[in-house]
Amino acid sequence: MKTRVISGVIAGLFGIAAIILTFSPYLDVLCFGVSLVSVYELMKVFGVKNKVMYALSLTFSALTIVNAGYGEKIGISFPIGAVVTVYVLAMLILMLADYEHITFEQAGLSMVASFLLPYALACFLKIRNLTDEFSAISRGHCRFLVWFCLASAVFTDTFAYFTGVKLGKHKLCPKISPKKTVEGAVGGIVGALIINIVALAICNAWVFHRPIPIPLWVMAIFSVVLSVISMFGDLSASTIKRNFGIKDFGNIIPGHGGIMDRMDSISFVTPVVYFTTVLLVKAFS
């Protein structure tokens, strides 16, 4: 418990740093590093050993982050579809060239590894850049949306854990994650909802120059949806770990495993936040 709490505090400090540095290049550097580590962790779990495959996957991950963060600003923006096409073709060529050692399963899992968290973090950076897409979205709004992503994942997990410990009786998915309970899930959803709505109400009243152009009740529903998606992300990661017979994806964070053990929920939440926010801003502004 003590190790988990200490590691949780450290993870929280990283989250605070991400919010403070929302418009700093350091956020891009952070996403870049986390992305590469996550790809390495997953490929190691998947049993990939081919060095060229590692190089291709890490390169794709790096391009995804750079493209999302500063691609248009520095004039080297590539359509994500084009990057994916080149990457997939390169993987297929590599598989054909070394078919005796590289299986289709390894190639497919490598592509999953290089797309899962890097794409989510690319969406995270695109959330930061929404102020460039919509005049109704200010920098303050973008900073809140960055918070919204992190809070929806982190507080859902935190409240679910402590509620489950105190009140948990009914198992949620016993075959996938035996410790998760229905009571914990409800506690996670409600806890994250309260935190998110209180934070938004305070920001609308005293922080933003103008309120965020999405009604409070819509953001409340959005928070609930994100909490559910966050739990699906967590359960999906648990399924992968069960399939490969491992407890954690890595050990870089004491008590919390690897990067993917902490970012599994984020990998599902951030793309939903980005695309849904775009739709909601168009609908309400």
Each residue's pLDDT tens digit, 242-265: 999 998 898 887 666 788 888 888
Q: Are 43 and 55 in contact (CB under 8 A)?
A: no
Each residue's pLDDT tens digit, 175-205: 898 889 999 999 999 999 999 999 999 999 9
Q: What is the pLDDT of residue 208?
A: 94
Length of the chain: 285
What is the mean pLDDT of the segment spanning 10-15? 67
Give the global pTM: 0.91
Query: Using N-to-C axis directions, what is the helix angle for 216-243 and 182-202, rounded to 10°?
Result: 140
Each residue's pLDDT tens digit, 122-142: 999 999 999 999 999 999 999
CA distance 41 to 249: 6
Q: What is the pLDDT of residue 200?
A: 96
CA distance 185 to 188: 5
CA distance 34 to 71: 19
Backbone angles phi, psi at 85, to 5 degrees: -60, -45
Each residue's pLDDT tens digit, 210-223: 999 999 999 999 99
Each residue's pLDDT tens digit, 21-76: 899 888 888 899 999 999 999 999 999 989 999 999 999 999 899 888 766 566 56
Radius of gyration of the chain (CA): 19
Counting the structural domains of the chain, the total is: 1
Full residue range of the structural domain in which residue 117 is found: 2-284
Which DSSP symbol is given to 253? B
Q: What is the pLDDT of residue 11?
A: 62
Neighbouring residues of 96: CB distance < 8 A, sequence distance ≥ 6: none
CA distance 169 to 245: 26
Q: What's the start-to-end Cα distance of the chain, in Å?
A: 46
